[in-house]
Chain A
Amino acid sequence: MLPRMPPHHPVLDPAVAYPKITQLRSVLDARDWPAARKLLDTAEPIERDCLIQDRDESAGLEEFLRGVLLEDPDDSTAGALLGQHLIHAAWEIRTSQRANKVSREQFAGFRRVLLQAEIALIDAAARTPGDPAIWTARLTTARGLQLGLSEARRRYDRLAEAAPHHFPAQRQLLQELCPKWRGTWEKVHTFAREAAGAAPPGALNAVLIPEVHLEHWGDLDSHSERQAYLRSDQVRNEVYEAARRSVWHPDFRRTHGWVSVMSTFAAVFALLDDMPAVASLFTALGDLASERPWSYLGDPATVISQYRARALPGGGAA
Chain B
Amino acid sequence: MITRREVDGVPTLLAPTSGPMHAGLAFRVGFADEPLAKRGITHLIEHLALYSFGVADYHYNGATGVEYTYFHMRGSEADIVRFLNGVCASLIDLPMQRLAVEKEILRTEQNGRGEGPTDGLALWRHGARDYGMPSYPEWGLTGFTPDDLRAWVARWFTTENAALWIAGPDVPAGLRLTLPRGERRPVPAASSALPVRPAYFPGPANVVAWNTVVPRQPAAAVFGGVLERALFRSLRQESGLSSTVQTDYDPRGDGSAVLTALADALPEKQDALLGGFVDVLATARVGRIDPAEVAAVVRQRCEDLVRAEEVGARLPGQAFNLLTGRPVQSLDEVLAELRAVTREDVAEVGRAAVAEGLLMTPERTTADWAGYAEAPHNSPKAVQGTVYPSLERPDWRLIAGEQGVSSIDGESTATVRFDHCAAVLVWPDGARRFVGDDGIQVHIEPTLFGSGHAVVAALDARVRPELRATMPARDPSRIPVPRPPAAPVPVVPEPSRASMIVLLVVLIPVLVLCGGFGLLMGVDAIVEAEDRGYAIGIALFSLGLAAGAGYGVLQAVRRLRSS
- Chain A interface residues toward B at CB < 8 A: 73, 115, 118-119, 122-123, 125-127, 129, 141-142, 145, 147-151, 153-155, 157-158, 161
| Residue of chain A at shortest CB distance from B266 | A150
Compute how far the CA of A158 lies from the CA of B370 in the bound complex, rounded to whole angstroms: 18
Compute how far the CA of A155 lies from the CA of B238 in the bound complex, rounded to whole angstroms: 12
Compute how far the CA of A155 lies from the CA of B274 in the bound complex, rounded to whole angstroms: 12
Residues of B within 8 A of A157 (CB): 238-239
Cβ A150 vs Cβ B269 within 8 A? yes
Residues of A within 8 A of B268 (CB): 150
How far apart are B202's CB and chain A's nearest CB, in angstroms?
Answer: 14
Cβ B286 vs Cβ A126 within 8 A? yes
Compute how far the CA of A11 lies from the CA of B275 in the bound complex, rounded to whole angstroms: 41
Cβ B275 vs Cβ A161 within 8 A? no
Cβ B271 vs Cβ A123 within 8 A? no
Residues of B within 8 A of A148 (CB): 270-272, 275, 365
The listed residue (B238, B285, B369) touching A145 by CB distance below 8 A is: B369
12 sampled A-B residue pairs with Cβ under 8 A: A122-B370, A123-B285, A123-B286, A126-B286, A129-B283, A142-B275, A145-B369, A150-B273, A151-B274, A154-B241, A154-B276, A157-B238
Compute how far the CA of A141 lies from the CA of B279 in the bound complex, rounded to whole angstroms: 14
Cβ A161 vs Cβ B274 within 8 A? no
How far apart are B370's CB and chain A's nearest CB, in angstroms?
Answer: 6
Cβ B272 vs Cβ A127 within 8 A? no
- Chain B, 247-278, contact with A by CB distance < 8 Å: what is the 0/1 string? 00000000000000000000011111111101
Q: Does B371 contact A (CB under 8 A)?
A: yes
How far apart are A182's CB and chain B's nearest CB, in angstroms?
Answer: 10
Residues of B within 8 A of A147 (CB): 271, 275, 369
Residues of A within 8 A of B274 (CB): 151
| Residue of chain A at shortest CB distance from B285 | A126
Residues of B within 8 A of A158 (CB): 238
How far apart are B385's CB and chain A's nearest CB, in angstroms?
Answer: 34
Cβ A154 vs Cβ B239 within 8 A? yes
Q: Does B288 contact A (CB under 8 A)?
A: yes
Cβ B275 vs Cβ A115 within 8 A? no
| Residue of chain A at shortest CB distance from B276 | A154
Q: Does B332 contact A (CB under 8 A)?
A: no
Cβ A122 vs Cβ B279 within 8 A? yes
Given contacts A73-B286, A122-B371, A126-B286, contact A153 B272 (CB under 8 A): yes
Residues of B within 8 A of A122 (CB): 278-279, 282, 370-371
Residues of A within 8 A of B371 (CB): 119, 122
| Residue of chain A at shortest CB distance from B371 | A119
| Residue of chain B at shortest CB distance from A114 | B369
Residues of A within 8 A of B239 (CB): 154, 157
Compute how far the CA of A126 lies from the CA of B283 in the bound complex, rounded to whole angstroms: 5
Cβ A125 vs Cβ B272 within 8 A? no
Compute how far the CA of A150 lies from the CA of B279 in the bound complex, rounded to whole angstroms: 15
Cβ A115 vs Cβ B272 within 8 A? no
Cβ B369 vs Cβ A155 within 8 A? no
| Residue of chain A at shortest CB distance from B369 | A145
Residues of A within 8 A of B273 (CB): 150
How far apart are B483's CB and chain A's nearest CB, in angstroms?
Answer: 34
| Residue of chain A at shortest CB distance from B278 | A122
- Chain B, 270-310, contact with A by CB distance < 8 Å: what is the 0/1 string? 11111110110011011010000000000000000000000
Q: Does B409 contact A (CB under 8 A)?
A: no
